[in-house]
Amino acid sequence: MINPNTLEDALSHLQNGEITAVQLLEIALSRVSEKESQLHGLITVTKEEALDQAEKIDKSRVMGESLGILAGIPITYKDVFFTKGIRSTAGSNVLSDFKPESSAAIVQILEKTGAISIGKANCHEFAFGSPNENDYFPAARNPWNINHMPGSSSSGSATSVAAAYCYASIGSDTGGSVRHPAAACGLVGLKPTRNLIPTAGLIPLASSLDTVGIITRNVRDNLIMLCAAVGTQDYLPFLKELRPELPGLKIGVDFKHLENQDVQEEVRTCFLNSLDLMRELGIQIVSLNLPDLNEIAIAANQIIQYEAWLGLKDFYENQHDALGIGLQQKLKQAQSTTAEDYQKALDKSAFYAEDVTKVLQREQMGSVDLIVSVGREAPAQTMRDLYDHPTAARSTCNRLYSLTGHPAITIPMGFGSNGMPLAIQIAGQYHDEYLLFQVAHAFEKKLNLYSGMNNVPWY
């Protein structure tokens, strides 16, 4: 049986009648059956609902009926999105039996495209807590090495895509929680312009920053998913316009950010090599000055902590013992953030947004088309390290665009000495996602990272 490796190929085989939606789903479910006991990528598997939907799609296709652009494609949703009649836990014991009466806006949108949800992806508790060995739901693992973490909050989303349970997952990105796990698992993670994809029905962490994001195995698949998410009915013209080289494009780098203490030396080296590869694509690299990474992280964390505390304090005060230890620690820390701290952080956020927007004015003097940086400060740490340091600083490099709302994408750029993936981050002007895809695609194609490898988990 054909087993397509990419979403794009799967769509082609489905549309040509070379594989059915049921067959494609059975392949996905077989991977779940084979790997889930070790990976814990899913909190809920919706096998029966998915099979029923796949059968209906196959019948409609045989009858020649009109189908949505993702008809038959297996996907997952991070378990912070409401799904009608299916439990939506936010990774927490206190919501372990919660079944919403309606689905989140993005779920409704993608259901109309024919995408088939195979289940709800694991996540850090309320997208805020840090995993602990005794959590109600066991923490997700990295398919590249199960002894390592798969990234931050949208952990199960990255696990489910990398383990080939599905071709794409919808996650939420508040401080890097789509980009960070995608980077840890060698995937492509997009945080689009804030509010480009509606957040209605998303269990909030920090509603002023929460953004719906997309994780896939490659750039073209991510572009297809974004087209579906925003209601574009034909993705082919966008794919056809992707170019292997981009002469004349100007990309900015703040080299001071590379000296941040959180950025490991092997990440620095790989990033500088990646810049050389971009130059080979005809891209001009220029130096620029952005706000200090540590100041950015402090502002982002204060906003997240303040809003998270307001949203979760009732659980903390009334169901404290039912919460995971990691979430308890995070909320204990969060309650000390004052309204004055919060307002100062909001003011800084507005200043940063204005600053980045000016830098990305493109053809104006001193501006650039895009900004690049590391996509993750280090290879994915071990689960032991995660358990032992639940409140350690992570995803500092992702925080700026969480604050400003600009679109940003992480893509693989190599491997660390421990064999775990490394990533680069590309950010652009508001609603300029397509330029991000252009550069990300050209870089991905030129690097050709996975060529000849036999240990890629989704192969």
For helices 21-39 and 7-15, angle between their N-to-C axes, nearest 10 degrees: 150
CB distance 412 to 186 below 8 Å: yes
Whether 389 shows a pLDDT value over 90: the answer reads no
CA angle 34/148/129 to nearest 5° reads 100
* DSSP secondary structure of 207-242: TTT-EEEEEESSHHHHHHHHHHHTT-S--HHHHHT-
Q: How confident is the model over 240-264, as pLDDT tens digits?
A: 999 999 999 999 999 999 998 889 9
State which H helix or E strand residue 77 sits in: strand 74-78
User: Is residue 392 very low, low, confident or very high in pLDDT (cuts 50, 70, 90)?
Assistant: low
Residue % of the chain over a pLDDT of 90: 94
Whether 455 shows a pLDDT value over 90: the answer reads yes
**pLDDT (0 to 100) of residue 366:** 74
For helices 21-39 and 47-62, angle between their N-to-C axes, nearest 10 degrees: 160
Whether 1 shows a pLDDT value over 90: the answer reads no
Q: How confident is the model over 302-321, as pLDDT tens digits?
A: 999 999 999 999 999 999 99
Cβ-Cβ contacts under 8 Å for 104 (sequence gap 6 or more) = 77, 81, 82, 83, 200, 201, 202
Amino acid identity, position 347:
D
Which is more confidently placed, 129 or 400? 400
- Taken in order of first residue, the domains within the chain and their CATH numbers are 7-240 (3.90.1300.10), 250-447 (3.90.1300.10)
User: Is residue 348 very low, low, confident or very high in pLDDT (cuts 50, 70, 90)?
Assistant: very high
Whether 391 shows a pLDDT value over 80: the answer reads no
- What is the spatial distance between Cα 64 and Cα 61, in angstroms, rounded to a whole number? 5
Whether 36 shows a pLDDT value over 80: the answer reads yes
Whether 106 shows a pLDDT value over 90: the answer reads yes
Average pLDDT, rounded, for the chain: 96
Q: How many CA atoms within 13 Å lie on the side-chain side of 143?
A: 29
Cβ-Cβ contacts under 8 Å for 124 (sequence gap 6 or more) = 91, 130, 131, 152, 153, 155, 177, 326
Q: How confident is the model over 116-167, as pLDDT tens digits?
A: 999 999 999 999 989 999 899 999 999 999 999 999 899 999 999 999 999 9
Whether 390 shows a pLDDT value over 80: the answer reads no
**pLDDT (0 to 100) of residue 393:** 66
Q: How confident is the model over 59-85, as pLDDT tens digits?
A: 999 999 999 999 999 999 999 999 999
Whether 115 shows a pLDDT value over 70: the answer reads yes
Buried b / exposed e over 54-68, threshold 16 CB at 10 Å, is beebbebbeeeeebb
CA dihedral of 87, 91, 94, 98, whole degrees rounded to 10 = -10
Of 26-40, 267-281, 381-395, least confident by mean pLDDT is 381-395
Q: Where are the alpha helices (DSSP H) in 264-324?
A: 265-280, 293-318
Q: How confident is the model over 162-196, as pLDDT tens digits?
A: 999 999 999 999 999 999 999 999 999 999 999 99
Q: Which residue, 203, 236, 202, 217, is CA-closest to 107?
A: 202
